Structure formats: C-alpha cells, structure tokens
C-alpha cells in the first residue's frame, strides 16, 4: 500500500535540487574563468547585492504561490523609498516615523493591487502592470525625478559590517527566516499554497480564498517596502531608476529557486535564497570577467527563459486530475 | 447547473432576443470615448481642427496603432505580448546596422520586418507548444531584446540613410505614407478577422479553446500565428518609427511603450479576457491614447503624471470589461 | 430493533423542473453498514447532500439519537458528528498528507502550526485505516488509493459518528478496494453509522448489512441484504414496469464496418478497448459513471492521450489506421459538458454551428479563405429548420438559448460537417422530455442515413431506445456485449457486477 512510485523519484530529485546544481555549475565556471572570483570578499559582495532583492522576492513568492503575479514590486519599492527619503531629508521628520510611513505606504500599495486583482477581478498581469507605471510616476512626480540623498547619519548603515559580514545580509536572512516560518508554519502560508494547487478545491475545503489571496498581495507590498529600505541605504540615496526591473529579477530568482509560476510549489528557504544567490553570482561573475553592464539584462532574460522552460516541463510531469461532475443528475422522466 | 438553466432560459421574449443580437454594451464604449476626447480636444486646443494638424496627429499614431493591432491579436487569444517594444527596437537596430554597413535600404526594411517576426515566432512556439506562461515568456523576451539592443549599440542611436526615411514619409495625395499603410492594413485585417475562417478560428480559440479543439480548430497553430503576427507588426512599426526618428535606438524599446500599446488595445475595446476586439478597435484606442498624450503634453502635465494617468486608464478599462463580461456570461 | 441512531423523516427537495426527492424516509443504526443504491439520478446524492449540509431540503426533519437537529451547512453536519467522504477527492498534490488533512484549520502552539501534534494525530488516524504513511509525504507521490485513505482520514479527524461514503471505489484498484472494505468494517465494529453509496451491487453484497433502494426520488424498497438476490435489487432499481414500450425503438440496418478500434489503453484509466462500428448502426456504450466510458470516447478523438492501440477508419474501400490526432476529421464528437467544451457561449448561433465546417463554406478560388456568408447562413438555416431549433435569429447568442436548443446547436454543427462517425457523450443530459425525444429522433435519423454512432448515456431507458447493440463497460474495460434483444436487467446487472454467472 505504502509503496512509492520510484520512477518518479529521480525526476523529483532533479526538479527539487536542480537549482542547487545550477548554482554549483555557475560558481565553478566563474571560479575557473576569473580566479579572484572564488574568495570571501566576492561571496560577501554577492550576498550584499542580493540582500534587498531577496526580501522583495520572498514577498512576491507568496503571490506567485497563489498562481498570480505582481510586477509592481519594483515600483512599490521605489515609491516608498522615495517618500521615505523625502520625509527624512526634505521634511526633516524623525527617521523612525519615516520608516513606519514607508512600511504603511507599501502595505497600502499592496492593498491597492489586491483590490484590483482579487476584488475587481482585473487580470493580475495587467493590473500590476498599470500600478507599476502609476507608482513610479507618482514617485517621479514627488521627487521631480531628482536624486534624493539620505543624510550621512544613516547612510553608513548600508555598508556597515559586523566582522566580515554586511549587516544588511544578516537582516535579509532574518527576514527570509520569518517569511519561511510564515510560509511553512502558519495557516495563512499553508492556505496560500493550497490556493495555488487549485482554487476551487481550496474553496471546497473551506479556505477563504479571496481573503487569503488579498492578504498575499499586502504581504508582497510590505516586503517590497522593507526591501526598499535596504536598497536605499546601500546606495545612500533614491535615484529615479531605483527598483527598475526589480520585478523581473525577483521573478527570475523565484523561478530559478524552484518557486513555480504555475502556483503551489516552492520554498522560501532554501529555494528563494538559492535562487537569489544564483542570480547574484551570475551578475557578479559577469562583472569579474569584465562583461559590459548591458549584458546583464540579456543574460537575465535568457536565464529566466530557460528556468521557465524547465518549470513548464515540471508541470507536465504532474499527473492529470480527472474531472468529475458534482451536480445532481436529472431524474429520468418516465411517467 | 444544466437543469437550473434549462428551466430559466426556456422562453425568449422579443426584448431578450434583441439584446442577444449584439454582444456587450462595452462594445460602444471606445467610440463614445473617442468622440468625447476628440470633442474636448477640438474645443480646448486652438487650431486642432486643421487638416495639417490632424494629419500630424495621425502620423504620430501610426506606429502605435500598428503595435496595438499586433497586441490585439494576442489579447484576443487571452494572452499578452510584453516584448513588442524590445522586439521592435532590436529589429530597427539590425536593419539600421545593415544599412550603415552600406546595405540596400529595401533589404534593410525587410530585416526590420523579419527579425521581430522571428522573435515573435519564438514567443509563439514557447506559448503554444511548450505551454509556457505568455507574460513570463514575453517579459523575458523583452529583457533579452532590450539587453541585446543596448549591448549592440552601447546606447547610441544608429542613424539611417535619409533616402530610406524620406521614402517612408513620402506623401501620396498629401497624406503621409505611414497613415496610408495603417489605413490599408486596418481595412485588410478587419476584413480578414471578420470574413475569413482564419479570423473565425482566432475568435473561437480566444472565446473557448476547449470547444474549438473539440470542433477541429487547429488551436496551437492559431496561437503560434498570433504571436508571430504580433512580432511582424513590431517589425512594421520599427520601419515607421525608425524613419520618423531618422535613427534606430534602444530607447524605442523601453517598457513604457508597452504600456501605451496595452492601453491602446484596452481602451479601444479589445478584451484582455479574450475573444473580443478587432483591428479597428486597436486603431481607435491608439488614436485616443495619442490624443490624451498630446493634450497632457500641451497642458504641460509632467511626463510622470501621464504615466500615472495611463496606468489608471488601463486598470479602469480592464476592470469595466472584466466585470461587465462576468455578468453577461454567468 | 431499538430506535435508529439516525433518522431522516419525510425529506423532499425539488430543483427547478425536477422533483429530486419526494418524501423519503431513511434510517440507519450504529454498528451497521447501510447501502444506498439507485440508478443515476435516483436521488442518492441529493439525499446525502441534505445530510451533509450541502443542500437544504424543502421539507423534512433529521433526528440524531432521537433528537431533532438542524443541518444547514457542512460545518453544522460536522458539529453533529457527520463526515462525508466525497467521490471526488479534494487533494492538494504539492502539499504533505498532514497539510491536506488539516488545511482548513491547523492547531497552533507558540504562534506556529503545531506539526508535532498534527503528525502524531495523522499517524494515529491513518493507522486506524491500516496505513503507515509518513504524514510529511507529498500527496502527489502517493497512489490514488492512498489518497482515498487520506480523504477518509480527514473525515475521521473529528471522530464522527456517522460516515457517508460516496462511491469511494471508483478510482481504486481491486487490492486497494479490499483494503478499504476492511477499513470500513473496522469502523463499523467501532460503532459508527456507515452509509455506503455505490453503483456496484457486488460491493453491496460483500460489504453491507442493509440496503435501501431509491428510484425517481422515492424509496423503492429495502431491508437486510441477506434477504435479497442481485436480481431483486436490480428490479427495485429499474422498476417493474417495462418502459421499453413507451419509447419507440427503430431498427436500423447495419451496413459495412466503418471504424475498428483495437486494443487502445491508457494505464490506470482504460484497458484494452476493442470494438467495431458499422454504418447505420447505433452502439450504446453503457456503464456507470466512472466506468471509463467517457474516457474511451475522448481517447477516440484525441482529446485524452492513449498509451497504445490502433484506431482504423474506412476510407474508400479500405480500413486505414488513423493517427489519434487525425481521427477528429472523421468523427463528430459531442462532449458531455456542453458549456465548457461544446459551445462558444458569447458567440452567435450561426458562428457556433459553422465552427467545424468553416473550411467548406468558403468562396471560389482566389478567395478560398473567405467565408461565403450566404452559404454559411443558408447551411445554418437548413439545420436550424431540420432540427427545429428555437431561435429568434441566427445572430442570437448561444448563451441565451435553452439547454435543449444549445445541444441541438452542437449536433447541428456536426450535421453541417457530415462526418461518417458520431460519438455522443450524454447527448440529452439536463434536457427536458421534449428536447430529449427530439435528440433521440435525430440520432435515429442519422443512423438511417448511414452514419455510425456511439452513444453514451446514464439513463438506461434512453440508451435502450436508440441502440442496436450494447457494449458494457466496468472499471475501464468492456466486460460484455449485447445485441438489440438485451433486457434492461442484463445491462444493469453486468454494469453493476451483479451478473457473475454470465460472461
């Protein structure tokens, strides 16, 4: 009775640990082509680069696990960072107040996305595409599309180290840990995965699908806001291009890390972390071998294409579920 | 379900059947919007209603209209193509490079047309035969093409020979060639989608892929064709855009262009849920969006506010469409 | 006998157009397994859905342990110790067994889900079912039979007193089925009330203590299983009255063979299906829901994949093997779910009816991709008239038509294309009597004109009124074949497994 289907296991193994394999290959490749690449320093700078995006990706993961999408995360990050920076350096408000407002604002942007997608039933892709441009537009309007610098008093935080480790690395690992717990050890997280498995089955099992999906967008917005804090601290300012194409990088991280765009699949730890590191390794590595900056977007597109392809193969492996009708059938009329 | 329904919809009154003959009330929305926007612009903008001004507005609209037509084909299938700007830019750059190296302008134009079509074909194969998700495929394609475009050009525009541009911008009977191209293309496609069985297959696949498959419609080929067509339209737009700018530049492919394309289709009445919309819808949408952009430009509205406004426009129209359709099908 | 633990008294329920339950009284006691049987549409599911809180009855009372209870939602049912094991399993393939069982409400400890307790309870419950699963195993890695155990395990989590099993064996292998029966017997010994809904009479005889038969929403009889024979129960299910006389059967003359199916199979779904179809003949593919009849039909036209076997179709003078993806060209397929797979709901009658035939409705040479709309309209008109479809105009949207007219639109689509072979899966489901009769007449006419037709229906009267020959399916295989002289009892008995002596 309890026998497992062994012919599935090898495939399962590859699909589960495939991303680790990819990471290893990438590291080996760059270590060979650029000897200085394989060093502690490089490792730290890789994690440092990945830190804000890891946080944003972990929030986006919740939305993607419900089989939806949010491509406005980069703009949410930009707008909340811009407002935070304006509050601190133009209005002179206390930093904690600015931080809290940033977080509240990013939540509100998530609420807006959730409203459009879950309540108004607007196609998630198009709704968040609209908000992506709208949020950035508002940010550019408020900042007059100028760079807003952060005061020196906090700027140092972005590149501060404890021992050899940047504190933002520790912070983002901490956030990932919390997100992992929410994903795997709370009812909300589990129900998000259930919705991604099949919305109608989830509803049949008594899950309040709309409420959970809505909340997933709010979480996604909040994480974009937290990521924005690290992002702006690292640079020391908020520039008009801060956060551009973050949605794309975050999706790439998730897909490489095994979070399926078909919903219901993937982990925050180690999945998102490894996906994030893989992508950061590729970019840092390209940097080490002296590739042009413009190569990044090209390579990132290729990477997402390939991992997406693997993802689609993976879903084709899944056994098909039979469709049965559950309506009362007619009584044969034979009077 | 079936029993419940058969009882209710048994009798059809005259009024019902009249209603049944047309599709959705939202069908008329784009025309109303066009008239309102046009009227508002003519009242508030001096010299708007001169022939030369109207022609210049239409010339501005041409490339957007062509892109929106391509997008419409994909949207009708319930898909989306976010890669149109990047694909267009890359096509334009390859063509321009070929001409800069001394190539024949006609062949240059052919390159501009075929490179995007080939990229569209890749999108189509990925979506139809590999079952990949349209927006990710095309988002990745956008990243790849825009990356390649900046890489190749180092972000510097490539000028194209003047004879190429002048040929494209010749006036026939006082009307610039691109406007004529759009006009002919629109008429031809309107005919194709409404009168040929290819058009019928497109709508049936977009309305219900499973029904179409059971009825023997080659649904995979239809999907493949639609994405390839979108690519091809990207190529045509590349030719017109390049000749208007006298240069090919990776700037042509920035993301905000995709917003204008999708906004045009959505405002023009192409449903993002599939099955509804024509070439005329796409062109009307493109005119509306161009008018709105122009007005905001003249009123000195900042570029950033226009982004916000367009974002709101897209969401509003898509929400109206989604909710009116839900009521009428269920 | 003492007072029954569960009593449903005078339950009535009507849906628009159908009286699904007419004053049904139902009793069940602790420590016994009660079989609830009846033909499709007899009202079994409706009755149990009333008990499970999914359907509110128009009248009637429910007593548990002598006390009247109100059950108006599934959670009311659960609170009264009623658990429902549904036929279609609600599984979450990417999640663990434990998650799937607890998904609607997890126990917490220190602000996090208390997996330690959950795993423990899962193990206990699953052990009670004789399973040694690791609760952390993912659902997609276990077999359908094991998933069924998880489904039952979920029902047992809240220690129910009354457990309803709705067709629990339809996706199980025979070994898994034996195991399930053991489990159910154990539950019975532990004093639960077990209600077992089944199509299969052999299961009823090997498992159940008492039987209750429903027919057309009424109690048709019941009592101790040991007091009945198979035939008795079959009689109760289909009624004494010979209804055949009501429907006029038309004999068709079968001509030459036009389709030959040889050994098609798909592992776990259908096994070794072979049969042939001749011109001018209507073959009834009869079997219970879940017997694989729909899957065979879909496999024949390439809608579901097959693992092997050949399909040959007559072309010219010869039978030619045809690729599965090509068979659609020769077969008109009418699927069972017309809204999802039959119609383009928001599109017009005309567009719906010409969909399969578009390439033949074009203009002459240089415009050979342009649809000749005059021809399209006249063709549509021809079949609208021929089938008497009630429409206000050809431009009317199909979603505004009644079910019967919608179904006729689908049939009309194929008549326009005029393929040599038709497959009709539940062609009259959900239609009123008049529309049913119309569609049966159309089937007869088609056969008269030389088409080969395979018909699937859940209604025995219907399949008997149109078929010249019968193939009976059970558990994915064709188990018997009958000629036109087959009786109703023959068909019901073979499909339910009651006829053990005959082949």
Interface confidence, given as ipTM, is 0.83
- Whether residue A205 is preceded by a cis peptide bond, meaning omega within 30 degrees of 0, is no
Q: Point out which residues pair with C473 in neighbouring strands.
A: C287, C478
User: Strands across the sheet with C218-224, in order?
Assistant: C82-85, C162-166, C193-197, C32-38, C210-215, C218-224
Which residues on chain B are in Cβ contact (under 8 Å) with A317? Answer: none
In tens, the pLDDT along C221-273 reads 888 988 988 878 888 887 765 444 345 556 677 789 999 999 999 887 888 99
Can you give the pLDDT at residue A316? 59
Residue C225 CB-half CA count within 13 A: 18
Task: Name, in order, each residue with C-beta under 8 angstroms of B34's C-beta and a sequence gap of 6 or more.
Answer: B284, B287, B288
**In contact, B242 and C373? CB cutoff 8 Å:** no
pLDDT band at A325 (very low <50, low <70, confident <90, very high): very low
Question: How many Å apart are CA C105 and CA C190, to the nearest integer?
Answer: 26
The H-or-E segment that residue A277 falls in is helix A273-288
Span of A60-69, A267-276, B25-34, C160-169 with lowest mean pLDDT = B25-34
Residues 261-300 of B with CB under 8 A from C: 275
Closest CB from A205, A319, A330 relative to C18 = A330
Q: What pLDDT sits at residue C239? A: 74
Are B164 and B109 in contact, with CB atoms under 8 Å apart?
Answer: yes
Sign of CA dihedral C294, C295, C300, C305: positive
* CA distance to partner chain B, nearest, from residue A251 (Å): 9
N- to C-terminal Cα distance for chain A? 48
Q: Which of B80, B307, B311 sits opposite A125 (nearest CB)?
A: B80
- Among C358, C376, C409, C421, the strongest candidate for a mutation testing the B interface, having the largest count of B CBs within 10 A, is C358
What is the pairing mode between strands C6-15 and B247-248?
Answer: unpaired
With vertex at residue A99, the alpha carbon angle to CA A98 and CA A103, rounded to the nearest 5 degrees, is 115
CA distance C432 to A333: 8
User: Does A258 lie at the interface with C, CB-CB under 8 angstroms?
Assistant: no
Which residues does chain C have within 8 Å of residue B195's beta carbon, measured at their own beta carbons?
370-371, 373
- Say which residue the tokens 């074009």 belong to: C362
C191 and C272 inside one domain: no
> In this complex, do C217 and A186 lie within 8 Å of one another by their Cβ atoms?
no
Does the beta-carbon distance from B151 to A298 stay under 8 Å? yes
Q: Are residues C309 and C354 in the same domain?
A: no
Q: Which residues pair with A63 in a beta bridge?
A: none
Mutate to test the interface with C, among A266, A322, A327 (most CBs of C within 10 A): A322
Instruction: Name the 3-class secondary structure at C350.
Output: helix
Number of domains in chain C: 3
Tokens 């049987």 sit at which residue? C37
pLDDT at B24: 59
Tell me: do C91 and C163 sit in the same domain: yes
pLDDT of residue B5: 31
Residues of C whose CB is below 8 A from A200:
none
Residue B171's Cβ-count burial label (10 Å; 0-12, 13-18, 19+) is: exposed
Q: C86 and C196 share a domain?
A: yes
Q: Give the integer Cα–Cα distance in Å for A70 and A37.
A: 34
User: In terms of domains, do C305 and C156 share one?
Assistant: no
Per the CB < 8 A criterion, the answer to whether C129 and C149 are in contact is yes
Q: Which residues of B touch A309 (CB under 8 A)?
A: 126, 130, 132
In the 8-state DSSP scheme, what is residue C114?
A: -
Q: B206 near B225, Cβ under 8 Å?
A: no
What are the extents of the domains in chain A? 18-316
- State the CATH class of domain B50-329: mainly alpha
User: Which chains does chain C touch, 3 or more C-beta pairs < 8 A?
Assistant: A, B
Residues 327-356 of C with CB under 8 A from B: 328-329, 333, 335, 338-347, 351, 354-356
Of B3, B23, B214, the CB nearest to C18: B3
DSSP 3-state of B81: coil
**Any idea what the CATH number is for the domain that residue C286 is in?**
3.40.50.300
Q: Is C172 in the same domain as C297?
A: no
Looking at the structure, tell me whether residues C173 and C221 fall in a common domain.
yes
Interface contact flag, C429 A8, Cβ < 8 Å:
no
Query: What residue of C is the nearest CA neighbor of B207?
Result: C344
Name the token pair of A175.
């956030």
Tell how far CA B301 is from the center of its chain.
Answer: 25
pLDDT at A67: 94
Q: Which residue in A4, A204, A206 is closest to C141 by CB distance? A: A4
Predicted confidence at residue C321, as pLDDT, reads: 92
CA dist list (Å): A282 to A234, A243, A304, B79, C277 = 20, 19, 12, 31, 61
Domain match, C115 and C79 both: yes
Give yes or no for A4 touching C (CB within 8 A): yes
Instruction: State whether A264 and C94 contact (CB < 8 Å).
Output: yes
Give the contacts of B99 (CB within 8 A, at least 6 positions apart). Answer: B105, B108, B160, B161, B164
Count of all residues that appear for chain A in the document = 335
Low-confidence residues of chain C, pLDDT below 70? 1-2, 17, 171, 240-251, 498-503
Q: Which of C329, C393, C435 is closest, CB to CB, to B17?
A: C393
Give yes or no: residues C254 and C108 share one domain. no
The gap from C-alpha B220 to its chain's centroid, in whole angstroms, comes to 21
List of chain B residues with pLDDT < 70: 1-26, 325-330
C-beta atoms of C216 and A332 within 8 A: yes
Q: Which CATH architecture has domain A18-316?
A: Orthogonal Bundle (1.10)
* Run of H or E including C297: helix C293-300
In chain A, what residues touch C430 (CB-CB under 8 Å)? 330
Alpha-carbon distance B305 to nearest alpha carbon in chain A (angstroms): 6
* Closest residue to C40, CB basis, from A193, A194, A329: A329
In this model, does residue A158 exceed pLDDT 90? no
Alpha-helical (H) ranges within B269-302 are 279-298
How far apart are the C-alpha atoms of A86 and A80, rounded to whole Å?
10
**Pairs of CB atoms within 8 A across A/B:** 147
Distance CA C322, CA C314 (A): 10
Write out the two tokens for C197: 């809904």
- Paired residues of C370 in beta bridges: B196
Evaluate whether C22 touches C217 at the Cβ level (below 8 Å). yes
Which of B6, B23, B212 shows the shortest C-beta gap to C430? B6
Separation of alpha carbons A321 and A315, rounded Å: 12
**H or E element: which one contains C455?**
strand C452-456
Q: How far is C397 from chain B (nearest CA, A)?
A: 5
From the list C47, C54, C52, C48, the residue with the least C-alpha distance to C24 is C47
Distance of CA C416 to the CA centre of its chain: 29
Helix (H, G, I), strand (E, B) or coil at A81: helix
Give tens-digit pLDDT for A3-35: 344 445 566 676 667 777 777 888 888 888 877
Spatial distance between the Cα atoms of A255 and A259, rounded to a whole number of angstroms? 5
Q: Which residues contact A27 (CB under 8 A, 6 or more apart)?
A: A38, A281
For C500, the domain range is 247-330+419-503
Q: B146 vs A249, A281, B119, CA distance in Å?
A: 15, 22, 12
List chain B residues with CB under 8 Å of C402.
5-6, 9-10
Q: Does one domain contain both C172 and C300?
A: no
Sign (positive or negative) of CA dihedral A242, A244, A246, A247: positive
Residue C198, H or E segment: none
CB pairs under 8 A between B and C: 124
More confident of the two residues A189 and C166: A189
C92, closest residue in chain A (CA to CA)? A197
Closest Cα in chain A, distance from residue B197 (Å): 29
State the maximum Cα–Cα separation within chain B, in Å, rounded to a whole number.
73
Are residues C346 and B14, on separate chains, in Cβ contact within 8 Å?
A: no
DSSP C205-254: HHH-SEEEEEETTEEEEEEEGGG--HHHHHHHHH-SS-GGGTSPP-----
pLDDT value, residue A11: 63
Strands A148-149, A237-238: parallel, antiparallel or unpaired by DSSP?
antiparallel
Where b means 16+ CB within 10 Å and e means fewer, C22-42 reads bebebbbbbebbbbbbbbbbb
Confirm or reject contact between C387 and chain B (CB < 8 A). no
Q: Which residues of C touch A265 (CB under 8 A)?
A: 94
> Within this chain, do residues C96 and C221 fall inside the same structural domain, yes or no?
yes
Residue A331 has pLDDT above 80, yes or no: no
Contact B197 C395 (CB under 8 A): no
Cβ neighbour number for residue B265 with a 10 Å cutoff? 32
Best residue in A190, A205, A211, A329 for a mutation probing chain C (most C CBs within 10 Å) = A329
Neighbours of chain A (3+ CB pairs under 8 A): B, C
Measured in angstroms, the CA of B22 and the nearest CA of chain A are apart by 24
B3: nearest CB among A292, A312, A330: A330
């Amino acid at each position: 009775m309890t026998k497992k289907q062994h012919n599935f296991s090898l495939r399962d193994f590859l699909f589960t640990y495939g991303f680790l394999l990819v990471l290893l290959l990438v590291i080996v490749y760059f270590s060979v082509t650029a000897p200085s690449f394989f060093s502690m320093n490089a490792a730290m700078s890789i994690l440092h680069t990945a830190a804000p995006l890891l946080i944003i990706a972990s929030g986006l993961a919740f939305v993607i696990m419900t089989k939806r999408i949010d491509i406005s995360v980069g703009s949410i990050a930009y707008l909340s960072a811009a407002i935070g920076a304006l509050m601190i350096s133009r209005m002179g408000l206390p930093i904690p107040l600015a931080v809290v407002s940033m977080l509240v604002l990013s939540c509100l942007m998530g609420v807006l996305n959730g409203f459009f997608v879950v309540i108004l039933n607007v196609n998630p892709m198009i709704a968040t595409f609209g908000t992506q441009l709208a949020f950035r537009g508002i940010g550019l309007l408020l900042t007059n599309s100028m760079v807003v610098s952060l005061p020196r008093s906090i700027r140092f935080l972005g590149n501060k180290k404890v021992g050899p480790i940047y504190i933002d690395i520790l912070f983002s690992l901490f956030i990932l840990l919390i997100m992992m717990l929410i994903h795997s050890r709370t009812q909300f997280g589990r129900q998000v995965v259930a919705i991604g498995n099949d919305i109608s089955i989830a509803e049949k099992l008594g899950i309040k699908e709309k409420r959970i999906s809505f909340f997933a967008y709010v979480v996604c917005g909040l994480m974009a806001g937290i990521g924005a804090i690290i992002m702006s601290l690292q640079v020391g300012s908020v520039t008009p291009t801060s956060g551009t194409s973050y949605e794309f990088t975050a999706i790439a991280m998730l897909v490489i890390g095994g979070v399926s765009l078909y919903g219901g699949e993937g982990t925050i730890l180690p999945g998102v972390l490894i996906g994030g590191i893989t992508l950061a390794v590729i970019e840092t590595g390209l940097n080490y071998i002296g590739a042009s900056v413009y190569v990044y977007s090209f390579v990132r597109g290729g990477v997402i294409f390939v991992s997406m392809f693997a993802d689609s193969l993976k879903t084709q492996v899944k056994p098909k579920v039979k469709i049965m009708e559950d309506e009362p059938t007619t009584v044969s009329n034979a009077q | 379900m079936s029993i419940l329904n058969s009882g209710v919809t048994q009798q059809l009154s005259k009024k019902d059947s009249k209603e049944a003959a047309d599709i959705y009330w939202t069908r008329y929305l784009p025309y109303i919007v066009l008239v309102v926007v046009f009227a508002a612009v003519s009242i508030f903008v001096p010299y708007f209603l001169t022939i030369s001004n109207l022609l210049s507005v239409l010339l501005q609209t041409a490339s957007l209209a062509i892109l929106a037509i391509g997008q419409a084909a994909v949207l009708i299938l319930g898909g989306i193509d976010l890669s149109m700007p990047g694909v267009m830019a890359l096509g334009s750059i390859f063509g321009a490079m070929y001409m800069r190296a001394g190539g024949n302008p006609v062949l240059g134009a052919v390159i501009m047309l075929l490179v995007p079509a080939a990229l569209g074909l890749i999108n189509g194969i990925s979506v139809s035969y590999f079952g990949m998700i349209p927006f990710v495929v095309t988002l990745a394609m956008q990243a790849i093409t825009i990356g390649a475009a900046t890489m190749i050009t180092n972000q510097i525009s490539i000028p194209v020979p003047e004879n190429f541009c002048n040929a494209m911008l010749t006036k026939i009977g006082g009307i610039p060639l691109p406007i004529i191209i759009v006009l002919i293309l629109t008429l031809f496609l309107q005919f194709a989608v409404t009168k040929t069985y290819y058009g019928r297959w497109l709508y049936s696949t977009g309305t219900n892929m499973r029904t179409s498959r059971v009825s023997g419609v080659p649904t995979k080929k239809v999907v493949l064709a639609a994405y390839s067509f979108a690519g091809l339209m990207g190529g045509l737009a590349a030719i017109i855009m390049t000749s208007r700018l006298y240069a090919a530049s990776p700037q042509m492919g920035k993301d905000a262009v995709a917003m204008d394309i999708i906004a045009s289709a959505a405002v023009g009445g192409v449903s993002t849920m599939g099955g509804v919309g024509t070439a005329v819808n796409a062109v009307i949408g493109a005119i509306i969006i161009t008018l709105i952009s122009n007005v905001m430009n003249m009123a000195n509205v900042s570029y950033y506010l226009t982004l916000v406004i367009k974002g709101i426009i897209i969401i509003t129209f898509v929400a109206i469409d989604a909710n009116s359709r839900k009521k009428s099908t269920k | 006998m003492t007072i029954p633990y569960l009593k449903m008294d005078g339950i009535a329920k009507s849906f628009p157009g159908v009286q699904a339950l007419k004053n049904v009284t139902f009793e069940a006691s602790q420590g016994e397994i009660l079989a609830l049987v009846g033909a499709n549409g007899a009202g079994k599911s409706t009755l149990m859905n009333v008990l499970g809180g999914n359907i509110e009855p128009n009248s009637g009372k429910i007593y548990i342990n002598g006390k009247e209870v109100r059950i108006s939602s599934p959670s009311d049912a659960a609170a009264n110790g009623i658990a429902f094991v549904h036929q279609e399993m609600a599984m979450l393939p990417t999640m663990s067994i434990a998650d799937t069982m607890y998904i609607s409400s997890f126990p917490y400890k220190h602000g996090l889900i208390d997996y330690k307790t959950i795993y423990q309870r899962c193990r206990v419950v699953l052990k009670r079912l004789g399973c040694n699963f690791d609760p952390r195993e993912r659902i997609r890695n276990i077999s359908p039979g094991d998933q069924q155990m998880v489904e039952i395990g979920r029902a047992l989590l809240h220690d129910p007193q009354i457990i309803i099993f709705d067709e629990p064996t339809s996706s199980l292998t025979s070994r898994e089925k034996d195991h399930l029966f053991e489990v159910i017997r154990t539950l019975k010994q532990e004093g639960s009330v077990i209600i077992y809904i089944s199509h299969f009479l052999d299961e009823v005889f090997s498992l159940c203590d008492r039987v209750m038969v429903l027919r057309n929403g009424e109690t048709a009889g019941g009592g101790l299983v040991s007091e009945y024979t198979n035939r008795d129960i079959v009689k109760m299910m289909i009624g004494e009255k010979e209804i055949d006389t009501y429907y006029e059967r038309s004999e068709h003359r079968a001509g030459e063979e036009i389709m030959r199916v040889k050994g098609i199979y798909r592992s776990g779904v259908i096994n070794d299906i072979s049969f042939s179809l001749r011109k001018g003949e209507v073959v009834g593919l009869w079997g219970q829901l879940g017997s694989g009849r729909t899957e065979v039909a879909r496999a024949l036209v390439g809608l579901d994949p097959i693992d092997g076997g050949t399909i040959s179709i007559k072309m010219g003078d010869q039978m030619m093997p045809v690729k599965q993806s090509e068979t659609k060209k020769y077969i008109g397929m009418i699927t069972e779910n017309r809204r999802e797979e039959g119609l383009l709901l928001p599109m017009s009658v005309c567009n719906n009816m010409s969909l399969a035939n578009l390439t033949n409705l074009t203009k002459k040479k240089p415009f050979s991709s342009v649809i000749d709309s005059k021809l399209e309209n006249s063709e549509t008109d021809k079949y609208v008239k021929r089938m008497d479809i009630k429409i206000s105009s050809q431009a009317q949207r199909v979603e505004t038509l009644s079910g019967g007219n919608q179904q006729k639109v689908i049939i009309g689509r194929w008549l326009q294309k005029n393929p040599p072979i038709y497959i009709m899966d539940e062609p009259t489901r959900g239609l009123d009597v008049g529309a049913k009769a119309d569609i049966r007449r159309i089937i007869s006419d088609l056969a008269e004109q030389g088409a080969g037709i395979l018909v699937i229906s859940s209604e025995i009267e219907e399949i008997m009124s149109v078929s010249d020959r019968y193939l009976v399916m059970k558990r994915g295989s064709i188990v018997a074949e009958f000629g036109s002289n087959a009786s109703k009892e023959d068909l019901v008995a073979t499909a339910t497994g009651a006829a053990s002596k005959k082949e």
